[in-house]
Amino acid sequence: MAAVAGSETIRRGRAPGRVGNAIFRGVSSSAGITIVVLLGLVAAFLVYRAVPALLATREELADVGFMRGQSLLGYVAPLAFGTVLSSVIALVVAVPLSIGIALFISHYAPRRLAQGLGYLVDLLAAIPSVIFGLWGLQFLQPLVGPLFQWLSDHMGWFPPFSGYVGPAKNIMTAGLVLAVMILPIITATIREVFLQTPRLHEEASLALGATRWEMIRQAVLPFGRSGIISAAMLGMGRALGETMAVLMVLAPGFAMNLYVLRPGQHQSIAANIANQFPEAGALGADVLIATGLFLFLLTFAVNLAARWVINRRAEFSGAN
Amino acid sequence: MTAVSVPPKPVRRRRRLPAYAPWAVLAGALGVGALLSLLSGTFTFTGALLFGALVHVVAITTLSAVVEGRRWATDRLATTLVTAAFVLAAIPLVSLVVLVLRFGMERFSWTFLNDDMVGIFGASVEGGVFHAIIGTLWVTGLCSLVAIPLGILTAVYLVEYARPGPLKRAITVLVDVMTGIPSIVAGLFAATLFMVVVGPQYKAGVMGAVALALLMTPVVVRSVEEMLRLVPNELREAAYALGVPKWLTVVKVVLRTAIAGITTGVMIAIARVIGETAPLLLTVGIVANVNWNAFDGRIATLPVYVFRQYAQGGASVDRAWAGALTLILIVMLLNLVARLVSRYFSPKGAR
């Protein structure tokens, strides 16, 4: 009792570090709020500069050289199509490969080796995109050229594969480079989820006589399904916004078709901005910023959806 | 009329392939692959490997199906494909490093690092990256000056101060989403920001720094947050029990404990943004001479230098590769030092 009475006599004002506490708390909170404000600013500035392009009449837009007399929608649509097409190609290649790599690291490689192998894949993420562009031109393009020629010759009855013209500066090659670039983030996410598979599920499956692959199908893949989906979406977000690989590898065009082996058919939003922005006039810059705003919203939505899938899993999974 | 139950047949021991079987099949398959490549016309190493891999997949699965049964054959097939996926993923990394080393070494030298591009035209084999290195240092340095404190403080807020609620959720989600911002959008933002605030003709290194800071901050937040969560609560409680105020606990106990991990995270974040090309293409452009002032005038940076030199073709391509080698050396050095820091300076038991 005496001790309690004694503690009441300590005045709060003399608590040590009160001023420091307040300052530090204030500084770190404002840093957190700055992040929110910053993202708001990004959206605000893009909208502010995009509005003139959105409100411009057709005659005004006709003066913008690179639009070749199209309306804003007519200009953005092929770009958006090319962006999505290249990302889808990248995903179709990268996701199965990533699942394989993640499985290899989490369930096949010897435990001591696994960490080093994971680091090797992470190293891919550290390589600058411009160097991936060089690699795509110098290594991948000559490598896939004969393959595409063969595809076009023998599978040409399937329209998307028809009409290959070398060198392979088509959206397929760009998609392959993108696939390599998004491999690390997809693999890292899937690997994390696979490693969290409840050990007891795996052991129960093995104890019932399952082979390793049957165990993976029964225990690991069902557990990791949402992880795979969100990883694919994160990769999609990356691929949508990647500039340099597409800019360097792809011969641009403004068509909307699925001829993935023909050069000069497609272009992505990001690569188009990088191509035109440095020389664009005032309204031209506005138009490009409007396309950039569209890209921003698209990736924002994809990333948000990916996070939503991940978080939903974290909340409702009974296993962890 | 009850039928006498037939006693079960004795269980037959399942026959398995010996452990060396896959390797033996692989060796044989590669031989057949080389032969096939030879028969298909011209022998290529890639062709031999490709054919060999296909033959191996078919052979090991068939062999296993005959000897071990369907289930084990499926298992073998899965093992082969999973391993193949990993080998396939190693190809880009290895080929990229080999390529950059091979082409980059042709021009890479001490003079290349100490020369700029003033007065270099067309087929000239001189010229270097000194101006681009200075520019990259300026831009990355300015960007780090903003992104590192902002990132660390935000992480401290999220881990130490934020109460569960809408603000904390919003910041966490926005940081996550921010890591996915396309770099070109960050570049557009910086370009418009300075266009509106300073004027349309303004070009300077600081614009690139703003764009990169936008990309770097979320990466720093993520990794620092992870590190702070690893600091055991007992340490915080011990400090409080000794009457240490909260802010001093954070600075002297929590951050001090996590400093190795934070350094690693920050260095990897720097390595990530140092190679960003697209935002710099939009903001800082390229020049031939050294620009010591990041607040006035265009400034050359390594990634843009590589891109522009390659686009010019001819003798410039060699310069592009040498520049790429310089860039990759810087990035790998940062990564290596980061790993070493986390290995040798992290507190025992944290890893």
Domain spans in chain B, listed from the N-terminal domain onward: 21-104, 130-345
Chain A residues close to B192, C-beta within 8 Å: 45-46, 48-49, 289
pLDDT of residue B14: 65
Lowest-pLDDT choice from A117-121, A272-276, B194-198, B342-346: B342-346
Whether B277 sits inside 8 A of A243 (CB atoms) is yes
pLDDT of residue B304: 92
Question: Is A274:B278 a contact under the CB 8 Å cutoff?
Answer: yes
pTM of the entire structure? 0.88
Question: Is A19 a domain residue?
Answer: no
Cα separation, B48 vs B36, in Å, equals: 7
Question: Is A185:A208 a contact under the CB 8 Å cutoff?
Answer: no
Cα separation, A108 vs A104, in Å, equals: 5
My answer on whether A40 and A113 are in the same domain is: no
Domain count, chain A: 2
pLDDT of residue B274: 92
- DSSP string covering B57-124, please? HHHHHHHHHHHT-HHHHHHHHHHHHHHHHHHHHHHHHHHHHHHHHHHHTTT-SHHHHH---TT--TT-
Mutate to test the interface with B, among A24, A120, A129 (most CBs of B within 10 A): A24
Mutate to test the interface with B, among A35, A214, A273 (most CBs of B within 10 A): A35
My answer on whether A43 and A164 are in the same domain is: no
User: Average pLDDT, whole number, for chain B?
Assistant: 87
Q: Which residue has the tokens 């033959």?
A: B55
pLDDT of residue A81: 93
My answer on whether A306 and A239 are in the same domain is: yes
Question: Is A6 a domain residue?
Answer: no
CA distance A258 to chain B (A): 25
User: Angle, to 10 degrees, between the axis of helix B130-156 and the axis of helix B205-230?
Assistant: 40
- The CATH homologous superfamily of the domain defined by B130-345: MetI-like (1.10.3720.10)
Q: Does B276 touch chain A (CB under 8 A)?
A: yes
Whether B281 sits inside 8 A of A103 (CB atoms) is no
My answer on whether A32 and A174 are in the same domain is: no
My answer on whether A35 and A101 are in the same domain is: no
ipTM above 0.90 for this complex: no
CB-closest option in A25, A105, A130 to B161: A25
Question: Is A46 a domain residue?
Answer: yes
pLDDT averaged per 10 residues, chain A (length 320): 47 68 90 91 91 82 75 88 94 94 90 82 86 92 87 84 83 93 91 89 92 92 88 90 90 87 89 88 87 92 85 53
Question: Is A41 a domain residue?
Answer: yes
pLDDT of residue B113: 85
Q: Does B154 touch chain A (CB under 8 A)?
A: yes
My answer on whether A47 and A112 are in the same domain is: no
Nearest CA in chain A to B157: A28
Backbone angles phi, psi at B163, to 5 degrees: -90, 150
My answer on whether A253 and A287 are in the same domain is: yes
Which residue range forms the structural domain that includes residue A207? 70-316
My answer on whether A180 and A31 are in the same domain is: no
Cα separation, B270 vs B327, in Å, equals: 12
Question: Is A196 a domain residue?
Answer: yes
Q: Number of CB pairs < 8 Å for A and B? A: 274
Question: Is A2 a domain residue?
Answer: no
pLDDT of residue B117: 78
My answer on whether A47 and A176 are in the same domain is: no
Question: Is B184:B278 a contact under the CB 8 Å cutoff?
Answer: yes
My answer on whether A116 and A36 are in the same domain is: no
My answer on whether A196 and A290 are in the same domain is: yes
Q: What angle do CA A32, A34, A37 make, to 5 degrees?
A: 120
B231: left (phi over 0), alpha (psi -120 to 50) or beta: beta
pLDDT of residue B3: 60
Q: Which residue has the tokens 């090309």?
A: B277
Q: Which residue has the tokens 């590769």?
A: B321
Question: Is A218 a domain residue?
Answer: yes
Give chain B's radius of gyration (CA, Å): 29
pLDDT of residue A200: 92
Nearest CA in chain A to B279: A274
- Stretch 48-87 of chain B: residues touching chain A, C-beta under 8 Å: 71-72, 74-75, 77-79, 81-86
Whether B193 sits inside 8 A of A121 (CB atoms) is no
Lowest-pLDDT choice from A306-310, B26-30, B139-143, B209-213: A306-310
> Higher model confidence: residue B146 or residue A67?
B146
CB-closest option in A108, A143, A292 to B185: A292
pLDDT of residue B350: 46
Mutate to test the interface with B, among A14, A28, A269 (most CBs of B within 10 A): A28
Whether B153 sits inside 8 A of A32 (CB atoms) is yes
pLDDT of residue B349: 54
CB neighbours of residue B58 within 10 Å: 14
Q: Does B310 touch chain A (CB under 8 A)?
A: yes
pLDDT of residue A13: 54
Question: Is B212:B273 a contact under the CB 8 Å cutoff?
Answer: yes
Mutate to test the interface with A, among B192, B254, B270 (most CBs of A within 10 A): B192
My answer on whether A36 and A116 are in the same domain is: no
pLDDT of residue A256: 87
Chain B residues close to A106, C-beta within 8 Å: none
